[in-house]
Structure 1
Amino acid sequence: GLGDHPTVLYLGKLSRLEGSELLKGIIEEVLESVPNAMFLIVGDGPARESVERFVEQQGLSERVVFTGWVPHSRVADYIIAADICLLPRRHTSFSPYTSPENILKAGEYMALGKPVVAPKMGGFADAEFPVIPAEPEEMAQAVVEFLRNPRQVPEFQRPTWEVSHARLQRVYSAIGAVSR
């Protein structure tokens, strides 16, 4: 986290399609429930001004940091600073599934040992920790529960090359594609 503050990260485009309205509610509910928590909002987009105005109107400016756009080469630094990451998104007729960008983001979060609250749709619907699938209205509570009872992502669940190779080797062995 940031200092002694449990930190929640939102990384990406700030737009309605990417969940900016949902993000506002999550910020408010989490900061009300976990008084020492902080939010780190990394990214820019058409809804940034709306989210910043909301944070200011709620009197939460001291606990929400907006970085604006950052080069991808610095993204890992922000992920490392977080305790938990968010992929807020609602089911819509335009987005019944999660986007490839969100799948990549979730992979980056997990590779750096961070749990991620993700929409209960697409590939995230039946996922297990370190992915915490949640309906949109459950996302804030999922974050609060994690911040109150944090868990570490076990090393064996991090998608390193060695772990991925071992898993693939087991699959090939199980189907008889390689000799044991």
Structure 2
Amino acid sequence: MSRTLVVTNDFPTRRGGIESFIYALCNRLDPDEVVVYTASMPGSPEFDARLAYRVIRDRSSIILPTRAVASRTAAVLRAEGCTSVLFGAAAPLGLLAPRLRDAGANRVVGMTHGHETWWARVPVVQGALQRIGDNCDVLTYVSEFCRRRIGRGLSDEALRRMVRLAPGVDVDVFRPDSGGLRMRAQWDIAPERPVLLSVSRLIARKGQDMLIQAMPQILAAVPEALLVLVGEGPYRRHLERLTRRHGVEHSVLFAGAVPWSEAPDWFDCADVFAMPCRTRMGGLEPEALGIVFLESQACGKPVLVGDSGGAPETVRHGDTGYVVDPRDPEAIAERAISLLADREIARDLGMKGREWVEREWTWETSLKTLRSLVDGP
């Protein structure tokens, strides 16, 4: 693999799905293969000092495709001897592609995620997305849904060059019996208590409100059920009020934000994982994929997946979990009850999910694809 300059705003210490994806890819490359150029963030000097590869921070907290950033990025490319560029998110940083080619980049790859789907629909930025597609050798996509939506804003040639590059799951980390009993003991959750878990930022799109609205129906059938919400975000106060309004505040646990290292323990702690994500803003804000669905299946848990964007691609409906209507709490409750009330069925679906993730969602496949893209034909 050529020495690659990863240009991205999506990198720790910021937290999120894209950040985790880029970070995991960089960590799995040989340290001599990669240099990261990213924004300044709180705590970044201490974080970067622990990494085996070079990270160079721009002076700004967000890097944009300005003339000044282009000059600084080109200087890093030349100084580090990089011959390929990977944009962690193609829009808008992919607009730097022509300048970096002039600086010596032989290959330019842009990763797309969910936000480019609305770039493809909004006329004022659609032209910029088309330029990005034409100036990159390849744009990647994480789901077929994203490919179709983003493709509407690309030229025919750029659309033909798109290649799937999805995140993988470390099945040695995310696995059954990884620490669920320890987590239950830590939070005083009885070993046999049925647990419905959701892990994500507390924002409207993730659908925690629908889970809370489903709880009265769930409790009528499974009285000891506990809904655990892991994560933090601006929606928390609304969700707390919602638990009181529906009289389920004693059956909902807000665990707050947790370190990434604890995520496998939380998945293992659950009987069922649910995130009824929904598309918002008239279709401009869908779920691009949903790595948490795959991580929970790797831990042997069945999943309830909201029918939004590319999220249904992370489950085999009826075999490893279910796709649910994210705006119908009664339908969500029915699926949750069927799994919480029959742990044998839940375990069967969960183990089928793990087998599927082990077979189809490996980091080895992701790295092989990445190397083929930055090295070129």
TM class by shorter-chain length?
Answer: 0.7 to 0.9
Greater mean alpha carbon deviation, residues 113-122 or residues 39-48: 113-122
- Asked if the contact 2:209/2:242 (under 8 Å) is kept, the reply is no
- Asked if the contact 1:112/1:158 (under 8 Å) is kept, the reply is no
1:141 maps onto 2:141 in alignment: no
Q: Please give the TM-score of this superposition, normalised by the length of structure 1.
A: 0.77
1:26 maps onto 2:211 in alignment: no
DSSP 3-state at the match of 1:89 = coil
**Deviation (angstroms), 1:143:** 0.5
What is the alpha-carbon distance in structure 2 between the residues aligned to residue 46 and residue 28 of structure 1? 24
| Residue 62 of structure 1: aligned partner | 250
Residue in structure 2 matching 1:42, options 230, 233, 237:
230
- Asked if the contact 1:6/1:38 (under 8 Å) is kept, the reply is yes
**Deviation (angstroms), 1:59:** 3.1
- Asked if the contact 2:213/2:246 (under 8 Å) is kept, the reply is no
What is the alpha-carbon distance in structure 2 between the residues aligned to residue 52 and residue 97 of structure 1? 24
Greater mean alpha carbon deviation, residues 4-13 or residues 146-155: 146-155
Residue in structure 2 matching 1:108, options 271, 295, 301:
295
Listed as ranges, the gaps of 5+ residues in structure 2 are 1-183, 362-377
- Asked if the contact 2:272/2:302 (under 8 Å) is kept, the reply is yes
Listed as ranges, the gaps of 5+ residues in structure 1 are 166-180
**Deviation (angstroms), 1:158:** 4.7
Greater mean alpha carbon deviation, residues 117-126 or residues 16-25: 117-126
1:6 maps onto 2:203 in alignment: no
- Asked if the contact 2:205/2:279 (under 8 Å) is kept, the reply is no
| Residue 288 of structure 2: aligned partner | 99
**Deviation (angstroms), 1:61:** 2.5
CA 130–74 in structure 1, closer or farther in 2 if over 3 Å, else same: same
**Deviation (angstroms), 1:28:** 3.1
- Asked if the contact 1:20/1:51 (under 8 Å) is kept, the reply is yes
| Residue 320 of structure 2: aligned partner | 130
| Residue 172 of structure 1: aligned partner | none
1:24-71 C-alpha deviation (Å, 9 max, x unpaired): 212333223321111111011111111112213433222211111111
**Deviation (angstroms), 1:7:** 0.3
| Residue 170 of structure 1: aligned partner | none
1:54-106 C-alpha deviation (Å, 9 max, x unpaired): 21343322221111111111111111110000111224333575323x2x111
- Asked if the contact 2:198/2:208 (under 8 Å) is kept, the reply is no
Amino acid paired to 1:115:
P
Amino acid paired to 2:351:
P
What is the alpha-carbon distance in structure 2 between the residues aligned to residue 96 and residue 47 of structure 1? 16
| Residue 162 of structure 2: aligned partner | none
Amino acid paired to 1:118:
V
Runs of 4+ in structure 1 off by over 4 angstroms are none
| Residue 117 of structure 1: aligned partner | 304
Residue in structure 2 matching 1:81, options 269, 272, 276:
269
